Amino acid sequence: MNNVLVTGGAGYIGSHAAKALARAGYCPVTVDNLCTGHADAVKWGPLHRHDIRDGAALDGLFATYRPIAVMHFAALSTVGESATSPLAYYDNNVAGTIALLEAMRRAGCVHIVFSSTCATYGIPEQVPITEEMPQAPINPYGRSKLMIEQILRDCDTAYGLRSASLRYFNAAGADPDGEIGENHDPETHLIPIALQAALGLRPRLEIFGRDYPTPDGTCIRDYIHVTDLAQAHVLALELLLAGGETRALNLGSGTGFSVLEIVSEVARITGRRVPHVFGPRREGDPARLVAGDGRARDELGWRPQFSAIDRQIGDAMRWIDRASSAAGTGTHGGEQPGTTPTRI
């Protein structure tokens, strides 16, 4: 009776959460349509290849496994794409979550931990961002996540569904044991892109904007190790199972790094130059996003252990190195930045 249904468990964060669940004595049962996920990232429990919008398939999983709770990672999550394909985002993220909640209701499952995002805050008036600050997302992706948070609160009032909406800042790093890591295609996250550029796996990093009101002119973000995120999910799950109320919590390190600070840290850790060019600002990129992370520490007892920035970059580097060696592309074989980029 300790099965937990993990939607999106074949993805980056969901697969790390599945490992954390298994370590804590739960059995993660993954449901994933593999639209961006990878079957070989599901190592700690069964994988069922379904779309979460398929209510009959979900009913079958609830009947077979009788999960005590759901961790809900499945989503489309590329901000730019959400602006050009909003209906796909609302359908996948919002309609998908409604289908999941309907199936939970039919099965009598009343606990859910949900992947929300700092994108629900939009452009913050100040940093650090605390949970009470206004949520005013500026793209369809962020709006889809805010809608889901609101739906979850309504489901608490109406049906007694208890939820923890975890608003992540920038997930980074990889499993410290090297078993899983980040494999997005295309990759849109700074640390893996900077590492790929340093290691000769892509020609260069493009930095969007150098005229922000920050000390070096580039955007500042808060990076949190994916294994620390995963641990926070287990703690949130256990709080709900112990009778905890519905809540929303930021998950970040509480420290911001500019793009150029990350570039110089990647260069230091790899011992290589990070080829980069400056491009124009991207629309809707706030200058600073840094978490006020006190509530997660107080309410969950969460203590990030791996989120020093050099640890996050080092674990990501080892994962990229391993993945590119397995793919036969290599990172230390003399391939020079500027040659044909290799996807990993």
Beta carbon nearer to ligand NAD, 235 or 337: 235
Residue 330, classified by CB atoms within 10 Å of its CB into exposed (0-12), middle (13-18) or buried (19+), is middle
Beta carbon nearer to ligand NAD, 39 or 63: 39
Beta carbon nearer to ligand NAD, 200 or 313: 313
Q: Is there binding between residue 307 and ligand NAD (CB under 6 A)?
A: no
Q: How far is the CB of 29 from ligand NAD (least distance, A)?
A: 13
Catalytic residue among 89, 121, 141, 212: 141
The correct pick among 42, 52, 58, 232 for binding ligand NAD (CB under 6 A) is: 52
Handedness of CA 147, 149, 151, 153 (dihedral sign): negative
Stretches 166-174, 257-265, 296-304, 331-339: which one binds ligand NAD (CB under 6 A)? 166-174
The correct pick among 18, 19, 37, 70 for binding ligand NAD (CB under 6 A) is: 37
Q: Is there binding between residue 170 and ligand NAD (CB under 6 A)?
A: yes
Greatest Cα-to-Cα distance within the chain, rounded to the nearest angstrom = 61
Q: Is there binding between residue 266 and ligand NAD (CB under 6 A)?
A: no
Q: How far is the CB of 322 from ligand NAD (least distance, A)?
A: 18
* Number of residues forming the site for ligand NAD (CB under 6 A): 28
Stretches 128-136, 164-172, 242-250, 327-335: which one binds ligand NAD (CB under 6 A)? 164-172
CA angle 127, 128, 134 (to 5 degrees): 75
Is 169:118 a contact under the CB 8 Å cutoff? yes
Question: How far apart are the C-alpha atoms of 228 and 234, rounded to whole Å?
Answer: 10
Q: Which residues pair with 178 in a beta bridge?
A: none
Q: Is there binding between residue 13 and ligand NAD (CB under 6 A)?
A: yes
Question: How far apart are the C-alpha atoms of 289 and 133, rounded to whole Å?
Answer: 13
Q: Is there binding between residue 231 and ligand NAD (CB under 6 A)?
A: no
CA angle 330, 336, 337 (to 5 degrees): 105
DSSP-derived pairing of the beta strands 220-225 and 111-117: unpaired
Question: How far apart are the C-alpha atoms of 121 and 288, rounded to whole Å?
Answer: 12
Please state the three-class secondary structure of 15-33 as a single string.
HHHHHHHHHCCCEEEEECC
Tell me the per-residue interface mask from 195 to 214 with ligand NAD, x by CB under 6 A, - otherwise.
--------------------
- Choose among 194, 233, 196, 191: nearest CA to 71: 233
Question: How far apart are the C-alpha atoms of 18 and 52, rounded to whole Å?
Answer: 17
Q: Is there binding between residue 117 and ligand NAD (CB under 6 A)?
A: yes
Stretches 61-69, 75-83, 105-113, 192-200: which one binds ligand NAD (CB under 6 A)? 75-83
Contacts of 340 (CB under 8 A, 6+ apart): none
* Tally of CA atoms within 13 A in the half-sphere of 258 that contains its CB: 17
Is 198:270 a contact under the CB 8 Å cutoff? yes
Question: How far apart are the C-alpha atoms of 312 and 223, rounded to whole Å?
Answer: 8
Q: Is there binding between residue 168 and ligand NAD (CB under 6 A)?
A: yes
Beta carbon nearer to ligand NAD, 91 or 299: 91
Q: Is there binding between residue 77 and ligand NAD (CB under 6 A)?
A: yes
Q: How far is the CB of 165 from ligand NAD (least distance, A)?
A: 11
Catalytic status, residue 141: yes
Q: Is there binding between residue 115 and ligand NAD (CB under 6 A)?
A: yes
Q: How far is the CB of 332 from ligand NAD (least distance, A)?
A: 27
The correct pick among 4, 5, 6, 14 for binding ligand NAD (CB under 6 A) is: 14
Question: How far apart are the C-alpha atoms of 192 and 341, rounded to whole Å?
Answer: 13
Q: Is there binding between residue 139 and ligand NAD (CB under 6 A)?
A: no
Site residues, ligand NAD (CB under 6 A):
8, 10-14, 32-37, 51-53, 73-77, 92, 96, 115, 117, 168, 170-171, 184
Q: Catalytic site residues?
A: 141
